[in-house]
Chain A
Amino acid sequence: MQDKEFDRLLKITRLRVSDEERVQIKRDFEQVMAYFDEISSVEASGEPAYHPVDVPGRLRDDTVKPFADAESLKKRSKTSNGYIVGPKL
């Protein structure tokens, strides 16, 4: 794997690795991908199985049921006038 490609992946996943980690993960990455490439020898037939069992979809009625403890969802965040503070754009 090229450094350029590796850096692109780091960027889109918002990850940072140390120099040591970089060496190791890059090596592992190649090994694992080589392992994954084994599936190319399988002659695939049939539809993809998004779930292992049949999942008939159930739909929810359009009714409002407020969450009882909305306040608790904000308690760890920094807030300002009820707004949750996030990082700069």
Chain B
Amino acid sequence: MTSYIEEFNGIEKPKDYYDDLFVQLEKLNDEYHAFNVINKDADCGFLFGTKANICVKGFETDAGSKMLKGYAPSFNATAVERMLSDKRFAFAGVTGMDEFGFGTFGTNTEVPARNAFDKEYAAGGSSSGAAVAAALMKYHVSIAESTGGSIATPAALNGVVGFTPTYGSVSRYGLIDYANSLDKIGVMARSSEDARIVFDRIRGRDEYDTTCAVEKITSERRKKIFVINGMLEKADASIKTSFEKLLNRLGNAYEIEHVDSSMMEMAIAPYYIIAMAEASTNLAKYTGYKYGLMAEDFYKQYNEFFTDVRENFGMEAKRRILLGTFIRSASVKDKYYTKALVIRSMLIREMDRMLKEGYILSPTLPIKAPRIADVRKLSPVESYSMDLFTIPPNLGGFPHISFPYDYVDGMPLGAQLVTGHGNDYAILDFVKSWEEGFEYRYKTNLGEL
């Protein structure tokens, strides 16, 4: 399959192309809520949207939170700066997300995005709007972000490619932090080729982000695919059936090996411990007198002033601040936070061994797309368990890509392929060849020429 970016830039656009496009987009957006802000004054170029936690100068970047209402940054994120300085691209707007990235289904925010295939279904999170935008518009890529699966999950549920690069290959400068040692900026697109073009545009060293340190990206093809037994067992029967079919198709070109991985199977708890511990420090800064939601009662004593403002965090954010603060308290820190960091290094060692030999493939989610109404009934632990497959590569900072491989009852299914640190091109290559024998389906092709 070709690149939509190249295709688009090769076609002459009608005079009113962008005007018409934005009129239609606004109408569509009223139904799907993919965008928080649409930039109707966009320059001519291939449109890209940015997840609402990636700073765009002058545009409200609220990270899906009431706490950041009205925050229009004074600077561009490095990734945004690099896109804007490339004439091929034009900024389309800000896409919606779970508050601060806290969610698997996109429902933890005031106006959740709707699944592009069926509005009753969850869009997936936390980069929900980014995935929906990519699925609604023919010529559009989304700059999104993943901490524990926030790119792969919504990509799978909306039938697009969701590419999460190696931790530290794309600068996080301008990314509103969830968990700094886990956050990765990535791309959601309708083809692996577009994901690669954008990745190459935004990646590379940046003096503004110390942790942006991975420069060299390789394309070392692996001949083997590992499937983790204990994890696949936890998926729904229908998912397992579809996934087995995928494995059969791939069996011709790859050696499929079913293995166990104790570390990957138990990665959820250490992931959430690190994520919440870091998040609880990141969320301390929202105190209502410099940016975002502003309080005015300056005659109140600061503790009360701060508490009044911070009451506006959503439920999940409050839960994670409290849990995160608890687990980094001096008396229990070693038991939870430090231990989780050690487990992370054990997980990386174990995955590294496998990934030197082959890829790791799994369904992206253990379930089919859920209805929004059903998502709301899940307890936190049930919800966290849905990240079963996406967490290991995210905790280990490994590049991974979710790609559509089947459609069941009119809804797309995604599979997730993982490779070793810095071998990002290999999985993009893999999906590119997969795309040659696979027909993507979309309900809407807004902007089609």
User: Is A–B contact present in the complex under a CB 8 A cutoff?
Assistant: yes
Point out the residues of chain A lying under 8 angstroms from B349, CB to CB. Answer: 46
Q: Please determine whether A29 and B310 come into contact, CB atoms closer than 8 angstroms.
A: no
Point out the residues of chain B lying under 8 angstroms from A77, CB to CB. Answer: 289-290, 294
- Kindly identify which residue among A21, A29, A55 contacts B168, using a CB–CB cutoff of 8 Å: A55
Q: Please determine whether A78 and B298 come into contact, CB atoms closer than 8 angstroms.
A: yes
Shortest Cβ distance from residue A15 to the other chain B in the assembled complex, whole angstroms: 6
Q: Please determine whether A31 and B381 come into contact, CB atoms closer than 8 angstroms.
A: yes
With A36-B327, A88-B299 given, is the CB distance from A48 to B266 under 8 Å? Answer: no
* Per-residue contact bits, chain A 58-89, to B (CB 8 Å; 1 contact, 0 not): 10100000010100110011100000111111
Q: A40 to B343, alpha carbons, bound, how many Å?
A: 11
- Kindly identify which residue among B182, B297, B380 contacts A28, using a CB–CB cutoff of 8 Å: B380
Stretch at the interface among B87-95, B123-131, B316-324, B361-369: B316-324
Q: Please determine whether B167 and A53 come into contact, CB atoms closer than 8 angstroms.
A: yes
Q: A67 to B74, alpha carbons, bound, how many Å?
A: 10
Q: A85 to B302, alpha carbons, bound, how many Å?
A: 12
- Kindly identify which residue among B74, B266, B303, B379 contacts A39, using a CB–CB cutoff of 8 Å: B266
Q: Please determine whether A16 and B323 come into contact, CB atoms closer than 8 angstroms.
A: no
- Kindly identify which residue among B166, B266, B313 contacts A15, using a CB–CB cutoff of 8 Å: B313
Q: A54 to B167, alpha carbons, bound, how many Å?
A: 10
- Kindly identify which residue among B322, B335, B339 contacts A13, using a CB–CB cutoff of 8 Å: B322
Tell me if B97 counts as interface (CB < 8 A to partner A): no
* Chain A interface residue number, banded: 35 or more
Tell me if A23 counts as interface (CB < 8 A to partner B): no
Q: A49 to B322, alpha carbons, bound, how many Å?
A: 24
Stretch at the interface among B246-254, B267-275, B428-436: B267-275
Point out the residues of chain B lying under 8 angstroms from A4, CB to CB. Answer: none
Shortest Cβ distance from residue A38 to the other chain B in the assembled complex, whole angstroms: 5
Q: A67 to B181, alpha carbons, bound, how many Å?
A: 27
Q: Please determine whether B181 and A39 come into contact, CB atoms closer than 8 angstroms.
A: no
Tell me if B348 counts as interface (CB < 8 A to partner A): yes
Contacting residues of chain B (33-75) with chain A, CB-CB under 8 angstroms: 70, 74-75
Point out the residues of chain B lying under 8 angstroms from A13, CB to CB. Answer: 280, 284, 310, 321-322, 325
Shortest Cβ distance from residue A3 to the other chain B in the assembled complex, whole angstroms: 13
* Per-residue contact bits, chain B 186-216, to A (CB 8 Å; 1 contact, 0 not): 0000000000000000000001001101100
* Per-residue contact bits, chain A 16-47, to B (CB 8 Å; 1 contact, 0 not): 11000100110011011101101110101111
Query: What residue in chain B is nearest A43 (Cβ atoms)?
Result: B346
Contacting residues of chain B (287-335) with chain A, CB-CB under 8 angstroms: 287, 289-291, 294-308, 310-311, 313, 315, 318-319, 321-323, 325-327, 335
Q: Please determine whether A31 and B325 come into contact, CB atoms closer than 8 angstroms.
A: no
Tell me if B114 counts as interface (CB < 8 A to partner A): no
Q: A12 to B395, alpha carbons, bound, how many Å?
A: 28
- Kindly identify which residue among B306, B318, B335, B344 contacts A40, using a CB–CB cutoff of 8 Å: B335
Shortest Cβ distance from residue B107 to the other chain A in the assembled complex, whole angstroms: 16
Point out the residues of chain A lying under 8 angstroms from B338, CB to CB. Answer: 48
* Chain B interface residue number, banded: 35 or more
Q: A77 to B96, alpha carbons, bound, how many Å?
A: 26
Point out the residues of chain A lying under 8 angstroms from B325, CB to CB. Answer: 9, 12-13
- Kindly identify which residue among B346, B380, B398 contacts A44, using a CB–CB cutoff of 8 Å: B346
Tell me if B217 counts as interface (CB < 8 A to partner A): no
Query: What residue in chain B is nearest A69 (Cβ atoms)?
Result: B74
Q: A58 to B270, alpha carbons, bound, how many Å?
A: 28
Point out the residues of chain A lying under 8 angstroms from B2, CB to CB. Answer: none
Among A55, A73, A87: residue with most chain B CB under 10 A: A87
Among A36, A55, A57, A67: residue with most chain B CB under 10 A: A36
Q: Please determine whether A76 and B291 come into contact, CB atoms closer than 8 angstroms.
A: yes
With A46-B345, A55-B168 given, is the CB distance from A35 to B289 under 8 Å? Answer: no
Query: What residue in chain A is nearest B299 (Cβ atoms)?
Result: A88
Among A9, A32, A51, A69: residue with most chain B CB under 10 A: A32
Query: What residue in chain A is nearest B182 (Cβ atoms)?
Result: A52
Q: Please determine whether A15 and B298 come into contact, CB atoms closer than 8 angstroms.
A: no
Q: A36 to B340, alpha carbons, bound, how many Å?
A: 9
Tell me if B154 counts as interface (CB < 8 A to partner A): no
Known: A39-B273, A47-B345; 6 extra A-B contacts, CB below 8 A, are A14-B307, A21-B318, A25-B322, A77-B289, A86-B302, A87-B304
Chain A residues within CB distance 8 Å of chain B: 6, 9-10, 12-17, 21, 24-25, 28-29, 31-33, 35-36, 38-40, 42, 44-58, 60, 67, 69, 72-73, 76-78, 84-89
Q: List 29 A-B contacts (CB under 8 A).
A: A6-B322, A13-B280, A13-B284, A14-B306, A25-B318, A28-B380, A29-B326, A39-B339, A40-B339, A42-B339, A42-B343, A42-B346, A48-B341, A48-B345, A49-B348, A51-B211, A52-B344, A53-B213, A53-B397, A67-B74, A69-B74, A77-B289, A78-B289, A84-B289, A85-B298, A86-B302, A87-B295, A87-B302, A89-B301
